Amino acid sequence: MKRPVPLESASVLIDEKIKEFGDWRGKTLAKVREIIHEADPEIVEEWKWVKPTSPGTPVFSHGGIVSTGETYKNVVKMTFPKGAALKDPSGLFNSSLDGNARRAIDIHEGDKIDEAALKDLIRAAVALNLKGKSKPKPRRASSKRAD
């Protein structure tokens, strides 16, 4: 089993990824990261899915994965694994729209990021993750009833 990258190292790897791109992609990933942390200061940065063909992917989590921050030649992609379950009144999701679970936002060079809408989406993703974590335990049949 692969060992996860330590959290401190994940932040350093994300810093390096941002610096690696001397163009709009690094600036965009840095901006997205900043918006994510402004939306939820308790976000944890992780680095996942390292394999011989890929150096890995920045991941932002709180109670589960909130979003990834992938960089490609022509796009910076934020993938929300539970995006299909989120309300998106501003229409930020513009990629991976056919699946049953995930949704993504492709940010192209020159695109303006709707920061307020993105923060709302991030907070909604965190709330959805935490909702799944805080299920009350079933009560035993022998417990006393409140009168």
Residue 7 confidence (pLDDT) above 80: no
| Residue at 32 is within a domain | yes
Q: Is residue 77 part of a domain?
A: yes
pLDDT of residue 115: 97
Q: Which domain holds residue 107?
A: 7-130
Assign residue 103 the CATH number of its domain: 3.90.1150.200
**What are 58-117's pLDDT values in tens digits?**
999 999 999 999 999 999 999 999 999 999 999 999 998 888 899 999 999 999 999 999
Mean pLDDT of the chain: 87
What is the end-to-end Cα distance of the chain in Å, rounded? Answer: 52
Contacts of 86 (CB under 8 A, 6+ apart): 80, 103, 121, 124, 125, 128
Tally of domains in the chain:
1
- Structural domain includes residue 144: no
- Please indicate, yes or no, if residue 40 is contained in any of the structural domains: yes
What's the pTM value of the predicted model, to 2 decimals?
0.83
Residue at 2 is within a domain: no
